[in-house]
Amino acid sequence: MIRRATGALAVLAVAGLLAACTPVQAQRLEDDAASAPGIARFYDQPDPLPAGGPGAVIRSAPTLGAPAGAVATRILFHSTDLNGRPVVNSGLLVAPDSPAPTGGRTIVSWGHPTTGVAEGCAPSRSFDPYDSVEGLTDFLNRGYAVVYTDYTGMGTAGPDSYLVGDTEGRNVLDAARAARAVLGRDGSDRIVLWGHSQGGQAVLFAARLARSYAPELDVRAAAVAAPATDLASLLRDDIGDVSGVTIGSYAF
């Protein structure tokens, strides 16, 4: 009975969202809702894991609901943590559906802001996984491909990595590697790193690690917005409100 009620509420929620959307937004939400039941199975890690170095793709699948003029692919790929131990990451790759330019597409590896720490809080598993990527439309219009990791421990099982910059930085770089593998000849080794808040911290670490950890990537630029850097001051200043308490609990 509870399951039926939950399902009915979900249908009503989708209906309410559709009523407030443009036709294009409504189609995307319908596509997202249609694909939701099978999404959870994608994030189950095969046992044993197939062999592969950092960035090697374990699994990929086309994803519905991509912005107009783009195609999206959900990815599961190898990465490493701050101690060099292998971990599995999930994420999403979004690219224009037009022919790639000569020399392949520049790849933007996006570091997402705080969305939670549980597996189900991963951006690639959200109801609209494209909505939170700042600048996505502009990047696609320029012919770039955009990839984003969910970070270790989100999306698929793994150790917690919230604000663990050395792990998240590797995840950001390995997402770019995975994107190159999926894109094939349409991709390039030209990489731009871009992140916000938690993702800003991840991108700063990725930029620092790039030369030693992923020397084959041609990292052209790194841009961050409101990066989480001075963590002691950040937590101290925000601990008096609900967002600060929430972020503090994640950090602990």
37-84 pLDDT per residue, tens: 678 899 999 999 999 999 999 999 999 899 999 999 999 999 999 999
Question: Does residue 103 contact residue 82 with C-beta atoms inside 8 Å?
Answer: no
Q: Domain residues for 74? A: 43-251
The verdict on residue 37 lying in a domain is no
pLDDT at 29: 53
- Residue 11 has a pLDDT of 46
The structural domain count of the chain equals 1
Does any domain span residue 104?
Answer: yes
Q: What is the CA radius of gyration of the chain?
A: 18
Is residue 174 predicted with pLDDT exceeding 90? yes
pLDDT over 50 at 17, yes or no: no
Mean pLDDT of 211-235: 93
Residue 88 to residues 170, 225, 234, Cα–Cα distance (Å): 12, 27, 29
Angle between helices 242-251 and 231-238 (to 10 degrees): 140
pTM of the model: 0.85
Residue 118: the pLDDT is 82
Examine the pLDDT at 15 and tell me if it is beyond 50.
no
Q: Would residue 11 count as lying in a domain?
A: no
Determine, yes or no, domain membership for 232.
Answer: yes
Residue 184 lies in a domain: yes
- Structure confidence by residue, pLDDT tens digits, 73-123: 999 999 999 999 999 999 999 999 999 999 999 999 999 999 988 888 999
Most distant pair of Cα atoms in the chain: their distance: 56
Cα(252)–Cα(249) distance, integer angstroms = 5
User: In the block, which residue shows the tokens 């979004």?
Assistant: 94
Is residue 70 situated within a structural domain?
yes
Provide the strand spans (E) within the chain.
Answer: 57-63, 70-80, 86-96, 105-111, 145-149, 187-196, 218-225
Sheet containing strand 105-111, strands side by side: 57-63, 70-80, 86-96, 145-149, 105-111, 187-196, 218-225
Q: Is the pLDDT of residue 150 over 90?
A: yes
Q: Is 3 part of a structural domain of the chain?
A: no
Residue 34 has pLDDT above 70, yes or no: no
